[in-house]
Structure 1
């Protein structure tokens, strides 16, 4: 239980919500006030969640939070938080996960390309479906803030991106193209892509060999479905990586 609460405080409240609030906290707007109210709610209920495990610290912190008339005098007699079914949404959770997946890939790209904190690259998010495109259009400002980007443009699968982009797949639903011209060592990135292509191609060959083997007919249907899906998504990743390699080689030759 304590690990779950710790993870929520660190990875959801601090790493995500607080970072997203920073650009609006200084504004005199309804959005800023709403963000402050939500943050207060998170902190107040978070203290109550932690109280059985950290009674003295949570009491001290809880007493320092803004209070309303009628609030209990002590956290010891405050009601323990309960789940509210009306606030649960699988759709919202899936959308936030997709946003966080993009942020994770963008941050990973920044690290692997050796970008400095002061460098804020432009990013294209190429989506393979209209539903994904709509979600990313809603989330692009959040991605921009959390991944320290200059801007984000969400595009459909058939749209072009400018030359000089590094590419990473985000699952099998999206591709993240980061404009790197003038920011990275092209020779090193080409070597990384060639290695990734070799590894993914080897994985794809093994999957196809498994599906072509005589014993394939005896494999349970659910395993067949998982293997086929994995093969298809890996093939898409290889194609995307090959395309990215071609882009880097073109940029190096330019």
Structure 2
């Protein structure tokens, strides 16, 4: 009656701007405010409200259910969790596409490092989600679930499963172990997510459950997942974290040096411990496939490294030689352009902060923001200048 609320069903099903205006300005307690409400509605929802679905809205409310503070509802969060629903759906399609030999009838299988890692992470997630739900912290429970499904299962594990499933020479037991893990971890994750997202989890579970060797008519009647401490594998977690750091470091180097993702990279490794060398040897095939690494060379203390871009994985230095990998002239031109832009930005913001009139009149928050902007631009300028010098020396 005040024109300042949204009908949850309009977020679930969607609504046109005209219908939304009609709903928000009809039967108002103070009709004189109708014009103001209409103006605000047009500004906030110029095309009406898209259909986000029930699960996305439910998950949004759970994620906002913090204690002791007022929450400003943000439609962007609903859109983000609709993307989360899509992520789960796409992951399920990938898993279902991998075939039906998932060890559901007790066939022999072998678990890879990545399989052991995701199973271990699942145990920690089961324990954390359960702990937070028991304390009625739906926000923290949904956060733990989101982190596991999106970042660990979808972003990393699905990627790490591909080399095994693509390898036509891989033992049958190893490929079966990966398919088994893909299916069973997803099935448990769906049960964890079911209280938050009942519809998509039921739909996917009906297709996944038979492959996971699970019987039942509905996910609603399945037991709640319970963590098994014996399945927590600290060694696998440590090895995969090392692998992830190495791959992220290589991705950053490719981005900074403008090297295409498909171009094979020769790697030099300095300060490699025995553990580093073991991990490298055990995961060499995976790195060559996923990170497009061409070769590995471990340098001794007395060995001289070529001019390289560097990433750090703990004490290990991962070196990518720049000679031959980039178009030197094109990269120098690009860097010159960035350096000129940043020099102009540093000069502009620095001049503003050295202006006494601005500093005296501007609110402290604005001044602090400008100082942060200046520091960020100066750091970026230093990085680009150093990079320019390294490439010019090639």
Q: Which moved more, 1:168-177 or 1:20-29?
A: 20-29
Q: 1:127 to 1:75 in 2, by over 3 A?
A: farther
| Contact 1:166–1:248 (Cα < 8 Å) also in 2 | no
- 1:135 has 2:275 as partner: no
- 1:113 has 2:253 as partner: no
Larger Cα-atom Rg: 2
* Alpha-carbon distance, 1:86 to partner: 0.7
CA distance in 1, matches of 2:289, 2:197: 33
CA distance in 2, matches of 1:70, 1:143: 34
Residue of structure 1 in register with 2:159 after alignment: 19
CA distance in 1, matches of 2:182, 2:261: 27
* Alpha-carbon distance, 1:143 to partner: 3.0
- 1:48 has 2:48 as partner: no
Consecutive aligned runs of 4 or more in structure 1 exceeding 6 Å deviation: 244-247
* Alpha-carbon distance, 1:55 to partner: 0.9
The one-character-per-residue Cα deviations of 1:54-100 (angstroms, maximum 9, x if unpaired) are 01110111001151666122111111111111111322212211111
Q: Which runs of 5+ in 1 are unaligned?
A: 196-241
Q: 1:49 to 1:176 in 2, by over 3 A?
A: same
Q: Which runs of 5+ in 2 are unaligned?
A: 1-140, 340-385
1:98 pairs with 220, 242, 254, which one? 242
CA distance in 1, matches of 2:390, 2:230: 47
Question: Relative CO higher for 1 or 2, CA cutoff 8 Å, sep ≥ 6?
Answer: 1
| Contact 1:137–1:154 (Cα < 8 Å) also in 2 | no
CA distance in 1, matches of 2:189, 2:277: 34
How many residues are treated as equivalent by the alignment? 199
* Alpha-carbon distance, 1:117 to partner: 2.9
RMSD value over aligned CA atoms?
3.1
TM-score w.r.t. structure 1 length? 0.66
Q: Give secondary structure in 2 for the equivalent of 1:178.
A: strand
* Alpha-carbon distance, 1:52 to partner: 0.8
The one-character-per-residue Cα deviations of 1:27-66 (angstroms, maximum 9, x if unpaired) are 3722211110010111111111101100111011100115
Q: 1:75 to 1:109 in 2, by over 3 A?
A: same
Residue of structure 2 in register with 1:168 after alignment: 310
Q: Give secondary structure in 2 for the equivalent of 1:151.
A: strand
- 1:178 has 2:320 as partner: yes
